[in-house]
Amino acid sequence: SSTPNTDTADGTGGAGAANAASPVTIQVGFENTNEEPIGQAVEKWAELVEEQSGGTMKLELFANSALGSKSELIDQMVMGENIITIADGAFYADYGLPDMGILYGPFFFDTWEDVWTLLDSDWYADECEKLKEKGLTILASNWIYGERELMTKSKVVTPADIKGKKIRLASSQIYVEGFNALGATAVPMALGDVYTSLQNGTLDGVENPLSTLYGQSFQEVAKYILMTGHIKNFTTWCIGTDFLNTLSAEQQELLYSTAEEAGLYNNELQEQADEEYRQMLVDAGVEITELTDDQLAEWKEAAQPFYEMGDTFGWSEGLYDTVQAAMGK
Amino acid sequence: MNTPVVMMVIALLVLLFMKVPVFASVLGASIVYFVMSPGINSAVFAQQAITGAESVTLLAIPFFVCAGVLMNYTGVTKRIMDFCSVLTGRMYGGLSQVNILLSTLMGGLSGSALADAAMEAKMLVPEMEKKGISKSFSTVVTAASSMITPLIPPGIGLILYGCIANVSIGKLFVAGIGPGLLLCITMMFMVSLISRKRKYLPLRTTKMTGDMFWSSFKPAILPLCLPIIIIGGVRLGIFTATEAGAVAIAYSLLLGILYHDLSAKQFAQGLQETLTTTSSIMLIVAAASTFSWILTKEMIPQQFTEWMINVIDNKWVFLVAVDVFLIIVGMFVEGNASMIVLVPLFAPAAAAYGLDPIHFAMVFIFANAIGAFTPPMGTLMFVACGVTECKTKDFIKEAVPFYLLLAGCLLALTFVPVFSTGLVNLIY
Amino acid sequence: MKKVLDALVKVEAVLAAAILVILIACTFFGVLARYLFNSPFTWEEEVQVACMVWITFLAAPVAFHTKSHVAIEILVDAFPQKVQRVIEVLIMILMYAILIYFFFRSLEFISVLARTGRKTPILMAPYSVIYGVAPVSIILMLISYTYETVKKVFLTPAQNEKEEA
Ligand code: NA
Ligand code: NA
């Protein structure tokens, strides 16, 4: 359509492709702050888009969920709004792609190399295709969100140590069942309530990337971190398929390539930040324990029951083996 | 601001003053924007207006409204009133002092100024008149002192603000105590002065004996424990500020059973009152989330902050400007509605000035609340006058010293942050 | 007609009250389950949020009967009675327009949810059902609003008194 939208700061919907006079604006919503690596890398992405499009495309950034919660944004994207948001497989699992959830099971990946191999596989491409049919297109998946570690009030080394311990998890079936399978008592709770709950013993522990653990000041109330890296948390940026189709082929290509490039920048920042946070946690008196290969094997072993719960999650037949094979294992 | 946004704001004002219910006015204004912006999918309108009701934090509203209503039915209020009479018995103003102290202590049980004003106008004002205190003065004291109730935790204003501006509600609860007590003490002092002049005599001339104290204090102990349970429970992390509301309901039911005062019929009546109050607030909240989605999408808060910082470069001037602006808005717009629309604009600006979020929250909440006591749109004034059949004209004349007192307290809160933040820093 | 409408309001009120009781109970026992028995309800938040949506919308028509919806009356009430009646009719037209627009937009929104099949993460309850209360409630709001306004604007005070009695 050619709506004569004179005052478009929004350039939405039909105003899309050929309109050179007013730039195509896309709004990017995410939960992180501007200071976190993700926040800085999105800014980089916006710069890249502006530069490489010669000013004909523009990303408007909304940190701290200012544009709305993730599910709200995704519904809006399906309705054709000009929005991009950050989301990961645990979310897509709840969104009707149950198989994606397995990537966020405990101890699924051994190394980040495994992650990158999987992202290049046909299996992953198929999943993205299914998501596209549901109205969402993934622009880039190579963004490291962090490696999730286990922080506890008393020292934990082996799976036996967390038996019955109350560990806080985000309210998602995959996360919750993952820790229940390891023998802990999973407590879904809003992140904002965790500090006091750790302090008074309602919780025994919490898991998250080091940056979040430090950002929430949990080091004041829990003194042990086990470097489990139980989830290699990569995340993705997605856009509404309908809106994407209103853009020209070059514009679409530009979004894909810049998202990927900014992702590499993000991963560099994440790596630096991880080092810094680790040091700050140590300085705050936290004891950080690395796992030996044998101990890691023990945790992997303990996580196995989770991968036999396919019926609970609605996974495809033999999903675990399929995905392992896609990683070349 | 582009044309659709300007038209939306105009539509909002027109609808509001045409007596269209507030929630429908806000929805109507948003409709204007959506109709004028054909590029935006209009289903987003419904998405925001429906999911706007979806907030775990705001569960506290039905909970604390319900707890407050149940307290009135269980005879808890009566026990606390007897205790207040003993405490303030020797002060000039007699039942006026009881009225103020009762609002303060009931503040720990109820989150709503309106409920408090309605209850005390019904229960206390006739008694005050019998003691020779004029109807208009009694009504004014009732309405003014009920402003203390939502400041003492729990309070709906504190909950709403915390939820919108993303400030810890547990901390806001603690922060409200300082301003609440400040208002209570200064108001008692002022009422004492006025009463001395008018010969509104104390309830008794004898000194308070230990016996007297104990016999009135004992029945009030359990009800007075609730605020301690709430603050303590939240502070220790046993339950969240939201869950505290459910605990408060359970506690008031327990007291009802203990005192044999709550019938099934009263319980049903209490639920009914809770539902209509909750729905009328939550519909405004939900409608406003469509409105504020539009503001966010158009990046109005950022533009507003930028503009504000350009115009005013001093944080104290900014605070005073906010005070004046909110009092004027409060004269015309119902408090919860103005809070929902304005907090997203002002909170980021306050942060940009480097103001402490708790300090700013208390200034905002207090300034926003004053409007309920002033004409033309003073909900507290209407409720109190409605129950006591006091004429608005007489009310306003009698209220002048109270307006000055409120303005003084607001200035104190504005320029002395420690009233708001002191206790929070001590406890947290 | 009046009987049918009163019964309708009663049903809504009872249903909303039942949901309020569920909400209170689930939150209170949720605290006990987590704090005393170490086994939190994983589904608690989903139920709470759904209850809140249902209470807001189910009690909204009832709030028309109890006159709980706030409005700014100062300006309109300053006009003479006859003018006020004209304005009341104007308000009625606006209310219809607003609620009917909301009704159709909410159907659109629900149909998007039905298409994507989004469900709550733990109980797997479809969002189309949770939010589906809105369009139903809007219809009920239209009915309640009409009922109350007709009573107020078109009946004489004497008739009104008879109605109340
Ligand atoms: Na209170
Ligand atoms: Na009072």
B51: CB partners within 8 A, 6+ apart = A72, B286, B289, C53, C131
Which of A253-267, C31-45, C90-104, C136-150 shows the lowest mean pLDDT across its residues? C31-45
- Whether residue B415 lies inside any domain: the answer is yes
- Quote the ligand 1 centre to B153 CA distance (angstroms): 4
Average pLDDT estimate for B168-172: 84
- Whether residue B6 lies inside any domain: the answer is no
Residue whose structure tokens are 């940009």? B352
Domain that holds residue C38: 2-164
Cis peptide before B21 (omega within 30 of 0): no
d(CA B9, CA B30): 9
Which of A15-19, A118-122, B232-236, C102-106 shows the lowest mean pLDDT across its residues? A15-19
C42 with A75: Cβ contact below 8 A? no
* pLDDT in the model for residue B374: 84
Distance from the C124 Cα atom to the nearest Cα atom in chain A, whole angstroms = 8
Residues of C in contact with A172 (CB under 8 A): 121
- Whether residue B358 lies inside any domain: the answer is yes
Task: Identify residues whose C-beta is under 5 A from ligand 1, the ion.
Answer: B 107, 111, 149, 152, 155
B-contacting residues in A 22-41 (Cβ below 8 Å)? 27
B382: CB partners within 8 A, 6+ apart = none
Domain that holds residue B200: 41-427
Looking at residue A82, the DSSP 8-state letter turns out to be: S
Neighbors of chain A with 3 or more C-beta pairs under 8 Å: B, C
C72 with B22: Cβ contact below 8 A? yes
* pLDDT in the model for residue A60: 92
Give the residue with greater pLDDT, B362 vs B229: B362
Average pLDDT estimate for B132-138: 92
* pLDDT in the model for residue C159: 62
d(CA B365, CA B172): 10
Please report the ipTM that was assigned to this predicted complex: 0.78
Q: What is the dihedral of CA A266, A75, B345, A55, to 10 degrees?
A: 50
Average pLDDT estimate for A209-237: 91
A79 with C116: Cβ contact below 8 A? no
B39 with A202: Cβ contact below 8 A? no
- When divided into structural domains, chain C yields a total of 1
d(CA A185, CA A167): 6
- Of the ranges A5-19, A53-67, B117-131, B218-232, the best mean pLDDT one: A53-67
Answer whether residue C59 shows pLDDT above 80. Answer: yes
Average pLDDT estimate for B90-115: 83
C102 with B47: Cβ contact below 8 A? no
Q: What share of chain C has pLDDT > 90, as a percent?
A: 46
Neighbors of chain C with 3 or more C-beta pairs under 8 Å: A, B
Summarised one tens digit per residue, pLDDT across range A128-157 is 999 999 899 999 999 999 999 999 999 999
Using pLDDT thresholds of 50, 70 and 90, give the confidence band for residue C157: low
Using pLDDT thresholds of 50, 70 and 90, give the confidence band for residue A16: very low
- Whether residue B274 lies inside any domain: the answer is yes
Closest CA to B428 of B167, B171, B241, B229: B171
- A94 CB within 8 Å of a chain C CB: yes
- A173 CB within 8 Å of a chain C CB: yes
Average pLDDT estimate for B92-99: 87
d(CA A272, CA A267): 9
A67 with B296: Cβ contact below 8 A? yes
- Quote the ligand 2 centre to B70 CA distance (angstroms): 18
- C39 CB within 8 Å of a chain A CB: yes
Using pLDDT thresholds of 50, 70 and 90, give the confidence band for residue A301: very high
Give the DSSP per-residue string, B276-317: HHHHHHHHHHHHHHHHHHHHHHTTHHHHHHHHHHHH---HHH
| Contact status, residue B83 vs residue B216, Cβ threshold 8 Å | yes
- The average confidence (pLDDT) of chain B is 86
Using pLDDT thresholds of 50, 70 and 90, give the confidence band for residue B423: confident
Nearest residue in C to A188, CA atom = C42
- Whether residue B171 lies inside any domain: the answer is yes
Summarised one tens digit per residue, pLDDT across range B25-76 is 989 999 999 999 888 888 889 999 999 888 777 787 788 888 878 887 887 8
C-contacting residues in A 187-216 (Cβ below 8 Å)? 187-190, 202
A190 with B237: Cβ contact below 8 A? no
Nearest residue in C to B333, CA atom = C72
- The average confidence (pLDDT) of chain A is 88
- B198 CB within 8 Å of a chain A CB: no
- When divided into structural domains, chain B yields a total of 1
Average pLDDT estimate for B305-320: 88
d(CA B295, CA B5): 8
* pLDDT in the model for residue A121: 94
- Quote the ligand 1 centre to C52 CA distance (angstroms): 22
| Contact status, residue A158 vs residue A138, Cβ threshold 8 Å | no
Which of A12-21, B153-162, C124-133 shows the lowest mean pLDDT across its residues? A12-21
Summarised one tens digit per residue, pLDDT across range C83-111 is 988 898 899 999 999 999 999 999 999 99
Distance from the C43 Cα atom to the nearest Cα atom in chain A, whole angstroms = 9
Average pLDDT estimate for B212-217: 86
- Quote the ligand 1 centre to B259 CA distance (angstroms): 23
d(CA B418, CA C71): 37
| Contact status, residue A306 vs residue A178, Cβ threshold 8 Å | yes
A176 with C122: Cβ contact below 8 A? yes
| Contact status, residue A167 vs residue A185, Cβ threshold 8 Å | yes
